Amino acid sequence: MLAIGSKAPDFKLRLDTGEIFRLRDLYGKSNVVISFFPDGLSNTETQDTYVFLHHLQKAQTLGAIVVTISPKNIDELRKHLALYNFTLPIASDPTLEVCRNYHAFWLRGLGLRKITYVIDKNGFIRGRLNHHLLTEKSWRPVMRLLQELAVKD
């Protein structure tokens, strides 16, 4: 995993809205939360992941930009997530380049971690949360960190 305080690797991915998201475009403007989630989850894991992501939507009330990243096809993801009224931007990483750069792989690249990074306005990693277990309670530390960053701004 990337170290707290290190510069977040820049990336550029297409969002489900058709827009291009580039991390460095937000430097100096907004804190960013990026959350990786795998495809092929069991029903229980899928539900837990979506509960976590619904809570992450609250990060937008603190002025943060939240983007979820998955190796799935964007159209397939949007259809699936629409069942859960999920409204955060989704980026597809079909080449897995961003997943690799953010060390979101485990099991020697066979699986994708459910991991979330909080990146400050200057592009530095301020928080990292691996929520493979206890998914439901994992969003609170992200919110606390964003509140701390909002106070510093």
From first to last of its 153 residues, what are the pLDDT tens digits of the chain? 799 999 999 999 999 888 999 999 999 999 999 988 766 555 555 666 667 777 777 788 888 999 988 887 677 667 766 776 777 788 988 888 998 899 887 665 567 777 889 999 999 999 988 765 555 566 778 888 888 998 876
Largest CA distance in the chain: 40
19: which 2 tokens? Answer: 């827009």
* Unique residue bearing structure tokens 């493979």: 132
pTM: 0.86
Q: At what angle do helices 139-152 and 43-56 cross, to 10 degrees?
A: 20
What is the structure's pLDDT at 104?
A: 87
- What domains are there in the chain, each with its CATH number? 12-152 (3.40.30.10)
C-alpha–C-alpha distance, residues 135 and 107, integer Å: 19
What is the structure's pLDDT at 131?
A: 65
CB-based contact 125:8 (threshold 8 Å): yes
CB atoms inside a 10 Å sphere around CB 66: 22
CB atoms inside a 10 Å sphere around CB 111: 13
Bridge partners, residue 117, by sequence: 34, 128
